[in-house]
Structure formats: structure tokens, C-alpha cells
Structure 1
Amino acid sequence: METSYFLGANTASGFLSLYDGFCRGEGDYLHIVKGGPGTGKSGFMRAIGREAVRRGMDVEYVRCSGDPASLDGVYLPALHMGWCDGTAPHVAEPGIFGVDSDYVNLGTFCRTPLSSADTDRARALTDAYKEKYAQAYALLAAAKSTESALAPQELGEKEVLRAGAALCALVERLPAGESPRLRRRFAGAVSCEGVLEDRSSYELCKLIYLCEDGCALAAGALSAACEAALARGHRVILCLSPADGVTPDALILPDASAAFVRAMPLSSYEHVRRIPLDRLCGDMAAVKERRRAVRAARREGARYLRAGCETLREAKAL
């Protein structure tokens, strides 16, 4: 079984990293891969994953949010062993060297130092690259500013609480877990390839609850369900929005093979149970008005996100 996800995100606040939780469980050993751009870090980790798959192992791939075609990490659960790119913007260092982690230095195979002409060009490209990312983050901040329309407002906090209670009731129906643990990741990315959604983590679940989110109630409801699942002893994987790094997009309970996913426009799933959260609100006139406001805000936000992704594409092309 192969799954993939992101541990970094380009957000309105800049780059957000969740790498501090990668391969840090009991018995895990992390190899931190160092080396500059183009030294083969992604190819090295992809080769490890291919060989593990050939040997019948499960593999988790950590995709790069800046370039989703590249890898920033690979984890082999059966061996409790992982490799990750330990360079900026997600610098990693060993916890206890030789005990739970060590280095793999691919930079030693790179020709250095560069010539004076190469040095000047490298510095110019680096400055231009950073400027493009600053422009992209400004556009993502503009997209985030549209979210003010997604607060409860007309419907009130009680509707969010009601939606949360509905999801908590579904969690209660699942078999209880035995070892509660929270892991966080991103199931998508704002990238040079556009706004991506990687569903591989939760599509393997036997039961998917699709939270229809026309009134923007799902984020609060998923937060409540997350707390309920941990209280029930579940291992929980919380997937956060790659656009802001805070809003819950999905909740995965591996022990119960269940997932709660926030439905967004154009998302399509098969063999799922749909949870129409909007119908939990009593005032349908307010619901209709709320839906209109949410659609308008999401259209405006999507426009800024597309512009941000285009700027990231320009950065990659440098």
C-alpha cells in the first residue's frame, strides 16, 4: 500500500512546516538527508520507496509543497524508518544522533566551490526566487482575507455546535481505540501546479463521511470530532487546509478505517455517506443567504489562490 501527503504548506503567513512530527514515534529512526538543490535528494528517497514496494512493504511518501512532483520524505512503517529532506525551509536536525536519527550527506557528491560566474548567477537566482515567493504569499494573504465571510455570522455559534455534535455522535458509534495519538498533515498543497488535493490517505478507509459544507460549518465540526475521537482512544490523523494551515479539511481514524472529509466544490467521491450539515440549521432562509455569501467568498478566494499558484510556477521556472 502506498500513500502520500504533505508536511509543508505555502500559506498566507508564509511557509508552515509539520516536519517536527515526521518519523518521531516510539521506535522510529530518521535519516536526515542534506544537500543543496539538484543533489538528488528526491530521487534518492524515491528509489528507497520503489525498492520497499518491490519487497511488498507499505510506503508513505511526503510530497514537496513547492514542487509536488518531488519528494521531501519517505517512511517505511514496517521498519519504523524514514528519510526526510532536512534543508530549508524545513530544516531538520537529529534528536539524539545515532540513537533515533542521523545524517545522509548527498552534498558531498556535488562539485564545489562554484566558479565566480556561477556564484553571481546563483545569488541572483536565489534573490529572484525569494521575491517571487514573497509575492505569492501576499496573494495567499489576500485569499485568506476573504474568509471573514465564512465565520458563523448569521447562523450563529449554535449551528456550529450542532454540526459538531452530529459528527461526535458518529464517532461514538465507531469501535473505541486503545492508544490515542494525534498526527497532523496536509492532504493538499498550494503549489506551482495549482491547488492540489491528495486523497490517498483517506480513500483507503472503508467508511468515508463526506461533510457537505455549503455554509462553512465543517471546520468547527471536524475540530469537535477530533477531540471526541482522541477521548475515545483513537489514533487520529488531522488533515489541515494547505491554504491557511489551520482549518481542518479531514479527519482520519486508521484503527476504525474511517474518515470525515470536508466536501468542497467539484470534489467527487464514491461509496461514501454524505452528511448534509446545512440541514442541521433550522432557519432555511438564513441558510440560503449564508450559502450565497460563502460561494461569493470562495470564488473571490479562488481567484487570489490561482494568482498565487501562477507566481509559484514562475518561481520554479527560474
Structure 2
Amino acid sequence: MAGKVRNFFAAGHTARGYYSLFNSVLAGLDRLYFLIGGPCTGQSTIIKQIGDTMSSRGYDIERLHCASDDASVDGVIVPELKLGVVDGSAVRTVEPQAPGAIEEYVNIGVAWDLNQLRKQKEHIRTRNKQMTKTFQQAYKTFADALRIHDEWEKIYIDNLDPVKANNLAHRVIEQMFSDKALTKPSHVRHMFLGAATPKGPVDFVQNLTEEMNKRYFIKGRPGSGKSSMLKKVAAAAKERGFDAEIYHCGFDPHSLDMVLLPELKTAIFDSTAPHEHFPEREGDEVIDMYAHAIAPGTDETHATQIHDIRERYSAKMRQATSCLSQAKELWDQLDAIYRHATDFAKLKEIQTGIQAEIDAFAAEQATV
């Protein structure tokens, strides 16, 4: 029987630039392969196929999707083995803990025909420069959108009753935890449930929450206290010794979008655009922040201002998405150059070698 597959992002293109949570996502692994070799060298294909192989053998896996192309992956983790395989060019900021003992660096670039690439060096250099410039423009535009979003939030913050918001958060936390507490340290992990991609926002809420018995859907407006409630839930879990998966906002990673509590089979998440979902099964519950904590009539009183803000915000988000789409086109052009210069038989040998090492490692773990 195939293992379960969980999908999420470990990094994203945000209003605060390229934002990576790989340090948290990869923490605690005993074996970690970094595939090195620059862009367009087949890392995603190798990672996907290794993940599919492990899943077919009954291992649960985690797929770390690429925000630049959500159909590609930046990594795969096999939690049972505490093992991961990741694209070294995507990780960027992860500091090795024990090179050779934990981390192994695999050079994918050995499959290149360097003579072919040298003939294309000006094309490669030009497209890389254009791609960097396009990503920077996307980040600037997302930052502009965030400033507009702050205007939107201010309307509701000014009309928020903090006592009611705090009381609601307290009731939710009491309902979740009651008097339960565990006599162990809480293990906290940070990641993204979704990301801004070249085709628009993508999220994996349904996949990530499919095994949760209880799901809280937080509804509301910008600035109505959704992220604040999630931060309070995360803090309560840590205080009580419960493990928590904390999912940051793919637009502004300083905010939160979801908290999963695996030991309680409970999820609580911001269920508004661009990751709006609705109750569909037993155990689903809506928490309406607007109804509970915002002054009645706020929408109507500020309707004209809100409409103007929403239009300006949407225009900036469309512009930023267009930049990501342009970057993807440049990436595809680079990919074509590198594919033409790649010996795929060598790539397959590399993949087979990694898989053989993983199999040996899994066999060792089974005897421990």
C-alpha cells in the first residue's frame, strides 16, 4: 500500500522577498542529500522519482513544492527515516550540521556537456540577469501591495473590540485543549501552506488537513484578528507540550495562516482569500471574527474606501504575479539550454546511486 503524501512549501516569493523556512522544515533529519549544480539540472525530476519510489514502498512522504513552479519540487522528506533529498539551489541558507555524516552533497552538474554550455554563456548570463531583475520587481510590487493591505487592515483594526477578540481566542483555546497538557517539550515546525506562483496563489489546505478530526475555519476581514488568534493557539500548544506545525502567510510571512496540532488531530486556519475553503464534513466549525469582534456596520460605513483599497491591492497582486510569470518564462528558456546539454543517462545513474544509498540506510534503520 502506497504511503500518504503531504504537500507544502518551504520557501516563497513574498512581500519581504524570497523567504525561506528550510531551516525549520529540515531540522532533525539524520540523512540529507543536497543536489548541487545550479538551475535546470534535473533536481526536481530526481527528487520526485525518489519520493514516488519511497511512497510506493509504503513510506509516508512530504513534498516541498517550488514557488517558482508549483508543479516542480524543491525537496522530499521521508519522516519515518528522518531522511530528505533537496535541491541545493533552492535551500540557500541552510547551515550544515555534520557534513558527510548527515549532509551529503551530490553534484548534478557532472551530467552537463560544458562545451555546449560555454557556447551559450551569453544567453545564460543574460537570462539569469533578467530573471533576477524580474524577481526583484515582483518583490517590490508585493511590498507595495502589502502597504495597501495595511490600509485595509487599519479600517478593521480601528473597529476591533480587543476584549471580544481575546475572549473568543480564549474560548477556542479552551475548547481545543481543555485541561490537557503533555509532560514533554513541544516540537514546533514552520512552513508555508501556500505560495504566490506564476499562475497565481496555490494552497494545500485540503491535503494538509485531510486527517484532522476537527477543523476551525477562521473567517473575517484583513485586520480582524485572524493571525493574532493563530499566534495565541501556537503559544498555547507550546506551553502545554503539544507539537505544532505553524504555517506562515505566503504573502506576508510575519503573519500566520494555519496551525496544525497533530496529537489533537486539530487544525485551525485562515479560511479567506486567496485560500478560502468551506466546511464540508463533521468536525468542521466556522469562527467569524467579523461577527464576533468588529463593530457592526463597519463594512457599510467604509464601503467606498474599502472598494478603492481592494482595487488597488488586486492590481498590484496581478502585476506581481505577472512578474513571476515572466521569470518562469526565462527559467523555461534556461531549462531548454541546459536540457540540450545534459546527459540524462548520467542523471539516471546519479538517481540510482542515491536510491541505493537510501535503501541501505532504510535497511540499517529497520535493524535498529
Q: TM-score, normalised by structure 2?
A: 0.79
> Does the 8 A contact of 2:165 with 2:289 survive in 1?
no
> Does the 8 A contact of 1:8 with 1:186 survive in 2?
yes
The total of aligned residue pairs comes to 317
Q: 1:82 to 1:203 in 2, by over 3 A?
A: same
Aligned position for 2:220 = 213
Does 2:160 align with 1:155?
Answer: yes
Aligned position for 1:169 = 174
**Max radius of gyration: which structure?**
2
Distance 2:254 2:305 in 1: 21
1:185 Cα deviation after fit? 0.5
Distance 2:45 2:136 in 1: 28
Greater helix percent: which structure?
Answer: 2
> Does the 8 A contact of 1:214 with 1:294 survive in 2?
no
Distance 1:74 1:313 in 2: 25
Does 2:120 align with 1:118?
Answer: yes
Distance 1:81 1:291 in 2: 52
1:114 Cα deviation after fit? 4.6
Q: TM-score, normalised by structure 1?
A: 0.91
Q: 1:198-252, CA deviations, whole angstroms, 9 ceiling, x for partnerless residues?
A: 1122232121011112363211111111101111111101111101111110110
> Does the 8 A contact of 1:94 with 1:102 survive in 2?
no
Q: 1:84 to 1:282 in 2, by over 3 A?
A: closer
Distance 1:174 1:316 in 2: 50
1:1-318 aligned within 5 A: 1-25=4-28, 28-88=30-90, 90-114=92-116, 116-148=118-150, 149-151=152-154, 152-173=157-178, 175-177=180-182, 178-199=184-205, 200-214=207-221, 216-265=224-273, 266-271=276-281, 272-281=284-293, 283-286=295-298, 289=301, 297-318=309-330
> Does the 8 A contact of 2:14 with 2:251 survive in 1?
yes
Q: What amino acid does structure 2 have at the position aligned with 1:267?
A: H
> Does the 8 A contact of 1:32 with 1:92 survive in 2?
no
1:282 Cα deviation after fit? 7.2
> Does the 8 A contact of 2:39 with 2:89 survive in 1?
no
- Equivalent residue of 1:284, what SS? coil
- Equivalent residue of 2:69, what SS? coil
Q: Which moves more between the two structures, 275-284 or 100-109?
A: 275-284
Distance 2:12 2:81 in 1: 27
Q: Which moves more between the two structures, 305-314 or 93-102?
A: 93-102
Q: 1:116 to 1:108 in 2, by over 3 A?
A: closer
User: RMSD of the TM alignment (CA)?
Assistant: 2.3
1:120 Cα deviation after fit? 0.7
Distance 1:100 1:251 in 2: 29
> Does the 8 A contact of 1:163 with 1:218 survive in 2?
no
Q: What amino acid does structure 1 have at the position aligned with 2:254?
A: V
> Does the 8 A contact of 2:24 with 2:191 survive in 1?
no
Q: 1:115 to 1:106 in 2, by over 3 A?
A: closer
- Equivalent residue of 2:114, what SS? coil
> Does the 8 A contact of 2:23 with 2:93 survive in 1?
no
1:164 Cα deviation after fit? 2.6
- Equivalent residue of 2:12, what SS? strand
Q: 1:160 to 1:124 in 2, by over 3 A?
A: same
- Equivalent residue of 1:47, what SS? helix
1:262 Cα deviation after fit? 0.9
Distance 2:62 2:305 in 1: 39
Structure 2 gaps of 5+ residues are 331-368
**Aligned sequence identity (%):** 23
Q: 1:136-187, CA deviations, whole angstroms, 9 ceiling, x for partnerless residues?
A: 1121011101222214122254344234323322332385344401111000
> Does the 8 A contact of 2:279 with 2:286 survive in 1?
no
Distance 1:295 1:241 in 2: 23
Distance 2:248 2:87 in 1: 21
Distance 1:124 1:251 in 2: 42
- Equivalent residue of 2:120, what SS? helix
Q: 1:93-118, CA deviations, whole angstroms, 9 ceiling, x for partnerless residues?
A: 53111222221221111122555540
1:92 Cα deviation after fit? 3.8
Distance 1:221 1:302 in 2: 26
1:285 Cα deviation after fit? 3.5
- Equivalent residue of 2:212, what SS? coil
> Does the 8 A contact of 1:33 with 1:83 survive in 2?
yes
Q: 1:262 to 1:201 in 2, by over 3 A?
A: same
Q: Which moves more between the two structures, 247-256 or 294-303?
A: 294-303
